[in-house]
């Protein structure tokens, strides 16, 4: 799918990898981007960073059907349709099986993570797909592309990541059945499992912590550049034969237990 002129919904788009991807796709590829996020202040700033003529922000709770429906109504009112959905929004809340003194972790803590990271992804991708099927098929094949953002934690999670890992592994399980179902209407579904990236949050960490993270990376031995993530999203969109796959974008790194 050609990116120029396409309408791309990015959840978690007001910061980090989502914002970096929005900037890249709008400024270098000519896309129009709709940023879904809860943080209204960050969203307004993100639109300035991307360029108001190419971007819009809608305050959105991805775990709420009504919120996502209203957000997509705003997108179609301005841009007309949706061609691409990139699900970056996620909660990284730490969660163990047993907490202090060997007490079972309350189910609500686990469910809080999956509500956003699993239910929220399905909520947005399904409602975006509903819009995509209305599109004219490009080259007689494609009406839309969905990219769900998983994590290296889906494969080798650290202690304390049981909820996050479960939620990110669930996205890998969505790939094949969703791609098989939606392929008949011209929609591809893929995922990215990123490793450690130099996000604004990482930049705030102590140098010793950053050095410890970097030591877990194989080659190249550095944190990923957010533009490399954005470029991977563009590759998935543009390569029409890539479907039902997960790209591990992690410099061959594997997370340690701690």
Active site residue ranges: 164
Partner residues linked to 84 by β-bridges = 8, 145
Which residue's structure tokens are 């959905």?
85
Residue 246 · residue 175 · CB < 8 Å: yes
DSSP letter string over 122-148? HHHHHHHHHHHTTSPPBTTTBSEEEEE
Rounded Cα distance, 11 and 35, in Å: 6
- CA-wise closest residue to 170 among 87, 95, 105: 87
* DSSP class of 111: H
């Amino acid at each position: 799918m050609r990116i120029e002129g396409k309408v791309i919904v990015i959840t978690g788009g007001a910061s980090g990898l989502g914002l970096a991807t929005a900037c890249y796709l709008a400024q270098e590829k000519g896309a129009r981007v709709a940023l879904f996020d809860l943080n209204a202040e960050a969203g307004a700033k993100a639109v300035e960073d991307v360029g108001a003529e190419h971007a819009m922000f809608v305050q959105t709770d991805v775990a709420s059907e009504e919120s996502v429906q209203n957000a997509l109504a705003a997108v179609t009112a301005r841009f007309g349709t949706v061609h691409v959905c990139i699900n970056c929004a996620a909660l990284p809340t730490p969660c163990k099986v047993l907490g202090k003194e060997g007490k079972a972790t309350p189910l609500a803590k686990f469910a809080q993570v999956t509500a956003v990271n699993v239910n929220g992804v399905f909520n947005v991708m399904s409602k975006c797909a509903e819009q995509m099927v209305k599109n004219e098929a490009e080259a007689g094949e494609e009406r839309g592309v969905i990219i769900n953002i998983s994590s290296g934690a889906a494969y080798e999670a650290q202690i304390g990541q049981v909820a996050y890992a479960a939620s990110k592994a669930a996205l890998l399980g969505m790939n094949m059945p969703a791609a098989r179902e939606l392929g008949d209407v011209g929609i591809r579904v893929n995922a990215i499992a990123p490793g450690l990236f130099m996000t604004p949050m990482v930049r705030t960490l102590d140098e010793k912590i950053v050095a410890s993270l970097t030591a877990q990376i194989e080659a190249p031995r550095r944190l990923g550049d957010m533009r490399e993530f954005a470029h991977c999203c563009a590759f998935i969109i543009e390569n029409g034969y890539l479907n039902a796959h997960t790209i591990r974008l992690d410099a061959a790194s594997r997370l340690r237990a701690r």
